[in-house]
Amino acid sequence: MKKKSEYPNLVLIEHPLVKKDITILRDKTTNTEMFRAAVTRISNLLAAEISSAFSLVELKVDTPLEKTKGYRLKQEVVLIPVLRAGLGMVDGFLQLIPDAKLGHIGLERNETTLKPNNYYLKTPKNLSKAEVILLDPMLATGGSASAAISFLKERGAKIIVFACLVAAPEGIKKILKDHSDVVIFTAVVDRQLNKKGYILPGLGDAGDRTFGTL
């Protein structure tokens, strides 16, 4: 299901259903409902792969017939979607990790400089004891993602995973350079960025297509 890529600390999700849904996302004729549903399905598979490395604590549980061994997650899970496009990935993760806590970070890209402007950050307490998953469908230049990771580290986060649907080589290199301790999970690595900083072949503006604001 997963494939180690040519980049260190990047995991590429290899799955027939992911490839099918990425095709749906790329198609310019895909409507908002279908786009949103495909984002959720891919996010669900990303959540399954990321959570496969979570540590467990053993416990005892009473079945209707007897006591037996059971497990719970060792650490709390905190999902941090990058507003607003990252919100589209939340449902897919919550379906598998329903007790995860939820924070939000707002970053706007300056269309001239391509650098991020931070306008909102709200997170649960005790990030230092949590598995933090940063959600953003597109990893383009990597500037916003790198800034978001830095803000979360300032809040005390020690274990951070970045989950996206589509990543460009430029963004991957930026994250690995700035945050070598962060693992990136993505559904696909695309070819490059264009002169405006958009991913090619990409899928357009994920936020606009998710929320129908084209």
Q: Report which DSSP code applies to 12.
A: E
Per the structure, the count of domains in the chain is 1
**Catalytic positions:** 109, 113, 205, 208
- Domain membership of residue 89 (yes or no) is yes
User: Is the residue at 64 inside a domain?
Assistant: no
Full-prediction pTM beyond 0.85? yes
Residue 66 included in any domain = no
Domain assignment present for 98? yes
What is the C-alpha separation between 3 and 20, in angstroms, rounded? Answer: 17
Whether 61 maps to a domain, the answer reads no
Angle CA 131–159–82, to nearest 5: 75
Q: CA–CA separation, 96 vs 68, rounded Å? A: 23
Q: What is the pLDDT of residues 147-176, one digit of tens each?
A: 999 999 999 999 999 999 999 999 999 999
CA–CA distance, 79 with 61 (Å, rounded to integer): 28
Q: Which helix (H) or strand (E) holds 209?
A: helix 206-211
My answer on whether omega of the bond before 36 falls inside 30° of 0, hence cis, is no
Q: What is the CATH number of the domain that holds 94?
A: 3.40.50.2020
90-143 pLDDT, tens digit per residue, is 999 999 999 999 999 998 767 777 677 788 999 999 899 999 999 999 999 998
- Can you give the residue range of the structural domain that contains 26? 2-55+74-211
In a domain, 67, yes or no: no
Q: Looking at the domain assignment, is residue 12 inside a domain?
A: yes
